Amino acid sequence: MNRVHVRVLAGGEHYALPVTAVLEIAEFGQVTPVPGAPSGVLGVRNLRGQVIPVIDLATMLGLAPDAESERIVVADDGSRRAALAVTATMDVGELGAATEEVESPYLSGAVLVDGALVGIVDVEALLAAVAPVEA
């Protein structure tokens, strides 16, 4: 199992996404709201000709956004793709195995990194909750 993750900051908390699920990191850019979109979906964004949903990671994890999102992390689980709005990206590196249990359906566990608890995002569960399956 690949233990390399992209660490991000959302809602004042630290999270990590498996690097195998991350396609790219980009500026937040222009997001167009979509009427009737599920909670947590900020809208859609055109990223090099592909329209993808933009999901507020903090909101999906039950947190109040602590600052304006500055970056998006484009994630893919093989059948779905979406941009996760985050406050900042921290780094890319190896994480140990999850040592803490979590109650969120969108996290697979958590691990202590330099004294900070880092939630490991279950990209498949998160995208299944809000993003349609790509044709």
List beta partners, residue 26: 72
Q: Look at residue 135 and tell me if it is in a domain.
A: no
List beta partners, residue 128: none
Residue 30 · residue 44 · CB < 8 Å: no
Q: Look at residue 59 and tell me if it is in a domain.
A: yes
Residue 42 · residue 54 · CB < 8 Å: yes
Q: Which two tokens stand for residue 52?
A: 């993808």
Give per-residue pLDDT as tens, 49-64.
999 999 999 999 999 8
pLDDT at 72: 96
CATH of residue 19's domain is 2.40.50.180
Enclosing domain of residue 15: 4-130
pLDDT at 134: 57
3-state secondary structure of 23: strand
Cα 48 to Cα 45: distance, rounded to the nearest angstrom: 9
Q: Look at residue 50 and tell me if it is in a domain.
A: yes
pLDDT at 37: 87
Which pLDDT band holds residue 110 (cuts at 50, 70, 90)? very high
pTM of the complete model: 0.91
Stretch 91-110: mean pLDDT, rounded? 91
Residue with tokens 């939630």: 119
Stretch 57-75: mean pLDDT, rounded? 91
Give per-residue pLDDT as tens, 5-29.
999 999 999 999 999 999 999 999 9
> Read out DSSP for 49-106?
TEEEEEEEHHHHTT----S---EEEEEE-SS-EEEEEESEEEEEEE-----B----TT
pLDDT at 80: 92
Q: How many separate domains does the chain show?
A: 1
